[in-house]
Amino acid sequence: MTSAHTPPTSLAPISYKDAGVDIEAGDSLVERIKPLAKKTMREGVLAGIGGFGALFEVPKRYQEPVLVSGTDGVGTKLKLAFEWNVHDTVGIDLVGMSVNDVLVQGAEPLFFLDYFACGKLDVDTAAAVVGGIARGCELSGCALIGGETAEMPGMYPAGEYDLAGFCVGAVEKSKILTGSTVQAGDVVLGLASAGVHSNGFSLVRRCIERAGNSAPAMLDGQPFRTAIMAPTRLYVKNILAALAAHPTDAGGIKALAHITGGGLLENIPRVLPAGLAAHLTKGSWPQTELFAWLQATAGINDIEMNRTFNNGIGMVVVVSAAQADAVANTLRTAGEAVYTIGTIAPQGSGAQVVVG
């Protein structure tokens, strides 16, 4: 009699690869990732990719460091990446969603870890994705020191994957941006986005389906698909430089808001003290061909545009009126497109963001 724990000897052995997990492919990916990650190394990295855990020492130049963390994914923008075979920029989106969030509290992103999950590992695709992650980290001055590649047969359809990322930054305790010093009369600056970034793609995809063959060949001087898939703009280095030049305690930058899911209407209130509202001036920043096409194709009003998308403004900077021009000039010199889009006023009985 065969024991319940002993398989019949007539059955052929089944390897892990037979079950759908290719260890050698995973090892090959790690070797391709290492030089990409190496380009992102910075002060503080003690041990990076290859160990069970990555080690990072907070730079000694911080007197009272406070760690700021953020995590996010790329969302349904990945569905278009699969359909259009565009894998080299979604990694930048992944980094941007987290580093820009950490930035709004005045923090310098220090290190980043990613999670890549798929049903069957395609090394070339995964390497393209991680290459984008490494590029995003490099542009943000953030070290890519670890991650996880999970091959899980049966969990994902062929050709699809999912991404998640995690960032840790640091800020001096005395320089944390909380928005507490924002007051009526302050000026709201808007920094241009690179496009849709990584939010609102469930609606973007419906617009593409609705347009069908009538979708434009070009938008804003770029091929249609390039405009749609433009990666999230990374504001880190330019904003940190502006914070150093115009610190809060000197009456400079008082608050930052990363315009992600919820758009302008739901993200700006997150950095405003109770009783204050941002009054944005309609038309104070240009509506790109991309957002005009989305609005026309979806048939939605301005309120829905400003709630669903960044609508052309990827980062909001609240600054004292006395330093508004100086801060704007600093950011423009660094390469940002900056618009004066509104002012801070008492809220009264209205909404915390009014566009009119």
* Highest CATH level, class, for 187-355: alpha beta
Are the folds of 23-175 and 187-355 the same? no
Give the residue extent of every domain in the chain: 23-175, 187-355
Q: Closest Cα to residue 154, out of 114, 118, 192, 208?
A: 118
Distance, CA of 77 to CA of 196 (rounded, Å): 10
* pLDDT tens per residue across span 195-207: 999 999 999 999 9
SS3 label, residue 14: coil
Residue 38, pLDDT score: 85
Q: What angle do CA 338, 323, 320 make, to 5 degrees?
A: 95
Distance, CA of 269 to CA of 329 (rounded, Å): 25
Residue 15, pLDDT score: 64
* pLDDT tens per residue across span 170-194: 999 999 999 999 999 999 999 999 9
Q: φ, ψ for residue 127 (rounded to 5)?
A: -65, -35
Distance, CA of 201 to CA of 96 (rounded, Å): 16
Q: Which CATH number fits domain 23-175: 3.40.605.10, 3.40.190.10, 3.30.1330.10, 3.30.70.1060?
A: 3.30.1330.10
Question: Hey, what are 117's tokens?
Answer: 């999950």
What's the CA dihedral at 225, 135, 317, 103 to 10 degrees?
130
SS3 label, residue 36: helix
Distance, CA of 340 to CA of 324 (rounded, Å): 8
Q: Closest Cα to residue 353, out of 276, 295, 255, 279?
A: 279
Question: Hey, what are 181's tokens?
Answer: 């010093």
pLDDT under 50 in the chain at which residues? none
CB-count exposure of residue 283 (10 Å: 0-12, 13-18, 19+):
exposed
End-to-end CA distance of the chain: 82
Q: Closest Cα to residue 236, out of 290, 314, 132, 184?
A: 314
The backbone region for 127, taken as left when phi is positive above 0, alpha when psi lies in -120 to 50, beta otherwise, is alpha
pTM, entire model: 0.92
Q: Are 115 and 148 in contact (CB under 8 A)?
A: yes
Residue 131, pLDDT score: 95
SS3 label, residue 143: strand
